[in-house]
Amino acid sequence: MTKEQILTEAMALNARERDEVAETLWQCMVPGELTPAQTQEIRGRLDALDSGRVQAIPGEQVMQELRQRFQR
């Protein structure tokens, strides 16, 4: 299958199934264990979100900005 065929098939799945596919692909790309520095960074970012010091940006907005910035 081509990448385009795979993406077309994946987008036809329901939201839960797409999430499972995305999670499986993500697990292939990241190491199984986090380093202490990575864990500390994650905790710091979560604390900043939980405390309100920073505000999350919706994923769709991030993707739109990236598409605009890196459009060929």
Interval 46-64: pLDDT, tens = 999 999 999 999 999 999 9
Interval 3-62: pLDDT, tens = 999 999 999 999 999 999 998 888 888 767 888 999 999 999 999 999 999 999 999 999
How far is residue 47's CA from residue 53's CA, in Å, rounded to a whole number? 8
How far is residue 8's CA from residue 37's CA, in Å, rounded to a whole number? 38
Instruction: Give the number of residues written for the chain.
Output: 72
